[in-house]
């Protein structure tokens, strides 16, 4: 297999590093749209946000889109809201037989589409997989151990991803639940914002655990409505990724929520950040998608109201906690 990655953010770069460490005799191609950034990474062998990590010599970083034509396994590490535009720009450069492996975690704003749906819409039907789980880029780049799950459209592709990635410190499990694994990766970011808000307001560990647990229930609820396998939400792409995102200092969505909880405006946070907090965009799409399927997402609804409707934090918390009692398993 010839392996390429699209997206020079921290997660795309960290995944390239992990793959390159396994395949030391093979060139790994990392494509980015920004020529200057690609040149800097290629020459310095470092990423500005992973500055203490030296890229393996077998990673080639370039903005030469035409080079992608030669690759048959392409990992997609593009923020969800930019994925359609990137796919359109690369349509004539990606081999029609190439499989896409999504590393992205979110729902598109207007269409509420998952990455698999965006790729099919923009690049046509092709083998597709999603690789997700608790995997902060900073830790993966350092070679610290992590476990992820690959959900693929067919078993052959799943095994190809295992062959590309699986190693001692980068353990890959397999699944056939593309919908569930994509939803887990997208929706956990919304819950992390809620957990971060609680941290910022110093509301304590009890409410944080409640938000995480009930957030997971919302993930399962929407997943059922969309045809996902419920077991996926108890796995690495669900509970696993949810925990690390809600509790780790690396979690950019938790950090976004924490700053909001401390009184910083959403506009100031997003304007001043050089990293994408996907949950800020996914929350609204998730609420609208859930409404279309008559599914309630109380935590996501309040996060959306705070971020997009300027709802006061205390009012949002009171509205969430004052809801009538119900069966926990519903």
DSSP 89-121: HHTTTS-TT-EEEE------TTT---HHHHHHH
Query: What residues make up the domain containing 141?
Result: 3-176
The confidence score (pLDDT) of residue 56 equals 98
Q: Please state the pTM of the whole predicted model.
A: 0.95
Q: Is the pLDDT of residue 100 over 70?
A: yes
Q: Are residue 200 and residue 305 in the same domain, yes or no?
A: yes
> Once rounded to an integer, what is the mean pLDDT over residues 140-166?
97
* Mean pLDDT on 239-257: 94
Catalytic residue among 188, 262, 310, 311: 188
Considering the domain boundaries, does residue 326 fall inside one?
no
Domain count along the chain: 2
Token pair in block for residue 32: 């980015």
109 and 220 in one domain?
Answer: no
Q: Give the span between the Cα atoms of 159 and 249, in whole angstroms.
A: 33
**Pair (10, 47) in one structural domain:** yes
Q: Do 101 and 209 have their domain in common?
A: no
Residues of the chain with pLDDT > 70: what percent? Answer: 99
For residue 288, the domain's CATH number is: 1.10.1040.10
Q: Mark whether 36 and 130 lie in a shared domain.
A: yes
pLDDT tens per residue across span 108-123: 999 999 999 999 999 9
Tell me whether residue 249 is in a domain.
Answer: yes
Percent of the chain whose pLDDT exceeds 90: 93
**Which pLDDT belongs to residue 162?**
98
Residues 155, 25, single domain; the answer is: yes
Least confident of 74-78, 206-210, 326-330: 326-330
Whether the per-residue pLDDT at 99 is higher than 90: the answer is yes
pLDDT score of 276 more than 80: no
Catalytic residue at 310?
no
Q: What's residue 274's pLDDT?
A: 63
> What is the reported pLDDT for 104?
97
CATH number, domain of 83, equals: 3.40.50.720
Note whether residue 12 is domain-resident: yes
Do residue 42 and residue 125 come from a single domain? yes
Q: Indicate the DSSP class of residue 231.
A: G
**139: its two tokens:** 């830790």
Q: 63 and 148 share a domain?
A: yes
The model's confidence at residue 291, banded by pLDDT at 50, 70 and 90, is very high
């Amino acid at each position: 297999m010839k392996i390429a990655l699209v997206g020079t953010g921290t997660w795309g770069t960290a995944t390239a590093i992990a793959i390159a460490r396994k395949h030391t005799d093979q060139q790994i191609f990392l494509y980015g749209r920004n020529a200057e950034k690609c040149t800097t990474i290629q020459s310095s062998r470092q990423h500005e946000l992973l500055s203490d990590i030296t890229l393996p010599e077998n990673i080639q970083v370039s903005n030469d889109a035409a080079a992608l034509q030669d690759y048959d396994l392409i990992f997609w590490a593009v923020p969800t809201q930019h994925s359609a535009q990137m796919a359109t720009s690369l349509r004539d450069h990606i081999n029609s037989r190439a499989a896409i492996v999504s590393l992205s975690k979110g729902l598109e704003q207007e269409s509420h589409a998952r990455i698999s749906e965006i790729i099919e819409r923009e690049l046509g039907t092709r083998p597709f997989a999603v690789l997700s789980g608790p995997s902060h880029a900073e830790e993966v780049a350092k070679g610290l151990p992590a476990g992820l799950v690959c959900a693929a459209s067919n078993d052959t592709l799943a095994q190809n991803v295992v062959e590309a990635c699986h190693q001692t410190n980068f353990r890959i499990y397999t699944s056939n639940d593309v919908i569930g694994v994509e939803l887990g990766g997208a929706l956990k970011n919304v819950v992390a914002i809620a957990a971060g808000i609680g941290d910022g307001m110093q509301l304590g560990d009890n409410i944080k655990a409640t938000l995480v647990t009930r957030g997971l229930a919302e993930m399962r609820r929407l997943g059922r409505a969309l045809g996902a396998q419920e077991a996926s939400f108890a796995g690495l792409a669900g509970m696993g990724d949810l925990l690390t995102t809600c509790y780790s200092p690396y979690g950019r969505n938790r950090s976004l929520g924490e700053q909001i909880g401390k009184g910083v405006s959403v506009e100031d946070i997003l304007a001043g950040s050089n990293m994408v907090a996907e949950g800020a965009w996914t929350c609204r799409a998730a609420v609208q998608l859930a409404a279309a399927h008559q599914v309630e997402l109380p935590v996501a609804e309040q996060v959306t109201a705070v971020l997009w409707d300027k709802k006061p934090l205390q009012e949002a918390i009171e509205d969430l906690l004052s809801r009538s009692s119900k069966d926990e398993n519903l």
